[in-house]
Copies of this chain bind each other. A is one copy, B any other.
Amino acid sequence: MKATGIVVEYNPLHNGHVYHAQQAKSKTAADIVIAVMSGNFLQRGEPAFVDKWTRTKMALASGVDIVFELPYRFATGNAPVFAQGAIELLDAAGCSAFCFGSEDGTIEPFQNSLQLIDRHAQEYETAVKKAVSEGVSYPMALNQAYKTILAEQPSLSVADLSMPNNILGFHYMEAARSIGSSMKAMTIKRMGAGYHDDSLDRQQIASATGIRKSFFGSETLDEVSDFIPPVTKQLLYEWQTERAVFGNWESFYPFLRFVILRDGPSRLRAIADVSEGIENLIFRAAQSHDSFQSFMDAVKSKRYTWTRIQRMLTHILTGFTKTRRAEMEKPTYLRLLGMTNEGRAYLNVRKKELSLPLISKVASFSDPSLDMDITASDIYALALGDGSSAAKTGLDYHTSPIMEDHFSFKSLK
């Protein structure tokens, strides 16, 4: 059996994601699609809209056969770290190809970019460091350095590394090369949730961000239903009915503020990504702001991207210290969140060839990175809950992988 890997967040899963999974499978003539998916905290340093099990159900109902969790350490890392973790897991899972969404859907420009940067490695690195030292944000510095070396070969067709999806794609390819993976790199044109809908006035909800925003605005579930598969709609409806609130920083802010005030600048300094005195700014802002929005307005600056600050805040919330991070340099397990029958057939055949241990019960495995994933789940549940079922912790111990047989998404497909 042949598997193709994809890297996803599904926050939440929309029609563009269904298209991506289908294309990844058909274009590579694969038997199954394996997704490596972020847990409850995401790459932009945000709590997920709905938890990882709900998003796993969305995935399994939409063309994905196996979902592995991208551990917290990688899921909340910058683009190179995120990509490294995801690619190592797809490789360990035995995928023969991986397929990412990009702005124009052709792989050659990425290959050219990779070779170009490779040939100018030192020049590139120096330019990045120089820009960062001048106060330029890291993603911006990468892009500037890239443009510098590009200028020497203006005729070459290269990837536009100012686009977020392209940046990730580039790092996936770089990561695959760095571990000598035999996986074939593929890309397909990225589609928004509303790719089959041309009306301009609907563009604002034609992305995962737009769909989330619509829930915090006046729109109802019905108004976004053209952009999401029925199973996403059903699961969002159930979540809303049960918990009343979706994952978002504003709801998590009382807990974030609590730990900022409790720990104080000296202990905030020990948290991953917190550096250069920003702990004092964060502490002072928490003292005087009682909403996340006004807190962020006080913390943000030219020196740090919004995303970088949010990642710090995620780490503060979850207690992810520099010491903890140092214990988890590489992925050490394949944590199964769910699978279809086809996915199970694949794992039955390939189980022994996996290059990392397969975990379907967390209690049977001991690992610092897994402990962090469990903590992150508990923190997410507690911060979201108000004494209701959402405030149950230890979900990772009590939740079995989602199995097609036990989950009634067939009818919703």
Interface positions of A (Cβ within 8 A of B): 254-255, 257-259, 261-264, 267, 286-288, 290, 317-319, 371, 375, 378-379, 382-383, 385-387, 391-394
Do A257 and B382 have beta carbons less than 8 Å apart?
A: yes
CB nearest to A316 among chain B residues: B262
Shortest CB-to-CB span from A288 to chain B, Å, is: 6
Give the Cβ gap from A263 to chain B, nearest Cβ, in Å: 6
- The docked-state distance in angstroms from the alpha carbon of A371 to that of B394 is 34
- Contact, CB under 8 Å: A378 / B287: yes
Given contacts A254-B391, A258-B258, 14 further A-B contacts (CB under 8 A): A255-B255, A258-B259, A259-B259, A259-B262, A261-B375, A261-B378, A262-B317, A262-B319, A264-B319, A264-B371, A267-B319, A287-B394, A288-B394, A290-B391
Which B residues are CB-close (under 8 A) to A394? Answer: 287-288
Distance between Cα atoms of A145 and B44 in the complex (Å): 61
Closest-by-CB residue of B relative to A392 is B290
Q: A382-B254, A382-B257, A394-B287 are in contact. Are A263 and B319 (CB under 8 A)?
A: yes
Which of A262, A319, A391 is most buried by chain B, counting CB atoms within 10 A of its CB? A262
Taken together as a complex, chains A and B put the C-alpha atoms of A290 and B389 apart, in Å, by: 10
A387–B254 touching, CB < 8 Å: yes
Cβ of A318 and Cβ of B262 under 8 Å apart? yes
| Residue pair B379, A258 in contact (C-beta under 8 Å) | yes
Q: Identify which of A379, A393, A394 gathers the most chain B CB atoms within 10 Å of its CB.
A: A393
Q: Is the CB of B383 within 8 A of A258?
A: yes
Looking at A254, A258, A375, A378, the one whose CB has the most chain B CB atoms below 10 A away is A258
Residue numbers in B under 8 Å from A382 (CB-CB):
254, 257-258, 261
Q: Is the interface of A mostly helix, strand, loop or mixed?
A: helix
CB<8 Å pairs between A and B, sample of 26 = A254-B382, A254-B391, A255-B255, A257-B382, A257-B393, A258-B258, A258-B379, A258-B382, A258-B383, A259-B262, A261-B375, A261-B379, A262-B318, A262-B319, A262-B375, A262-B379, A264-B319, A264-B371, A267-B319, A286-B393, A287-B394, A288-B393, A288-B394, A290-B387, A290-B391, A290-B393
Complex: chain B residue closest to A257, CB-CB: B382
- Tell me which residues across on chain B come within 8 A of A261, comparing CB atoms: 375, 378-379, 382, 393
CB neighbours (8 Å) of A287 from chain B are 378, 393-394
* Chain B residues within 8 Å of A317, by CB: 262
Chain B neighbourhood of A258, CB < 8 A: 255, 258-259, 379, 382-383
Give CA–CA (A371, B283) in the complex, Å: 13
Q: How far is B290's CA from A394's CA once the two chains are assembled, in angstroms?
A: 11
Q: How far is the CA of A29 from the CA of B319 in the complex (A)?
A: 55
Closest to A286 in B: B393
Query: In the bound complex, do residue B375 and residue A264 qualify as a contact, i.e. CB atoms below 8 Å apart?
Result: yes
Residues of B within 8 A of A392 (CB): 290
A385 and B383 CA atoms in complex are apart in Å by 15
Pick the most buried of A261, A319, A371: most chain B CB atoms within 10 A of its CB.
A261
A18 and B392 alpha carbons, distance in the complex (Å):
45
Closest B residue, CB atoms, query A381: B261
Cβ of A195 to closest chain B Cβ, rounded Å = 39
Residues of B within 8 A of A393 (CB): 257, 261, 286-288, 290
| CA A375 to CA B265, docked complex, whole Å | 12
| Cβ distance A298 to chain B, nearest Cβ, rounded Å | 13
